[in-house]
Amino acid sequence: MEALFMQIQSFCIVILMAVGILVHKRRKLHVKLMSLAMIWDVALILQIELSRSAILKASKAVENALALNIHVSIAVSTVIFYGFMLYTGRAVLSGDNTLRKRHRALGYTTFILRILTFVTSFWAVAPKA
C-alpha cells in the first residue's frame, strides 16, 4: 500500500516533468514546473527512506537485491543530474547561450533516467505473492 502511494507520486513527477519540458519556451513556467518536480522528487526519496522498513516488509525487494540495487543506482544518478540541470538552467537564464545545447541534452537524459527510475521501481518492489 505504502509502495503504491510512492509510485503514484513518482508517476505524477514524471508527468510534471514532461509538461515542464513541453512548455520550455515559456521560461518562467518551465523553471517553476521543473523546480517543483525536483523538490517533490527529493521529498519522495525522504518519504521512502523514512518508511523503508514498511516497504521492504511488504515487498520482495530484499529477495530481489539486484533489482533494488539497479533501481537505487538509477534513482541516485537522476538526482545527480538534477544538480547539472540547476547549474546549466541558471546559466542559460542569465544569458549564457553556450550552455543551452548542453542543458537540452542533459535535460532529455535526466528525463529518460527519471522514467527508468519509475519503471524499475515496479521491478524492485513487486508486492509479495
Residues in contact with ligand HEM, shown as a per-residue x/- string from 41 to 70 under the rule CB under 6 A: ------------------------------
d(CA 125, CA 37): 22
Does 85 engage in binding with ligand HEM (CB under 6 A)?
yes
Does 4 engage in binding with ligand HEM (CB under 6 A)?
no
**Residue 21 grid cell:** 519540458
Q: How far is the CB of 21 from ligand HEM (least distance, A)?
A: 5
d(CA 122, CA 73): 15
**Residue 112 grid cell:** 529518460
Does 92 engage in binding with ligand HEM (CB under 6 A)?
yes
- What are the contacts of 91-97 at 24+ separation with CB within 8 A? 93/27, 93/31
Residue 41 near residue 82, CB atoms below 8 Å = yes
Does 100 engage in binding with ligand HEM (CB under 6 A)?
yes
From 111, 113, 118, 121, residue interacting with ligand HEM (rule: CB under 6 A): 111
Q: How far is the CB of 37 from ligand HEM (least distance, A)?
A: 6
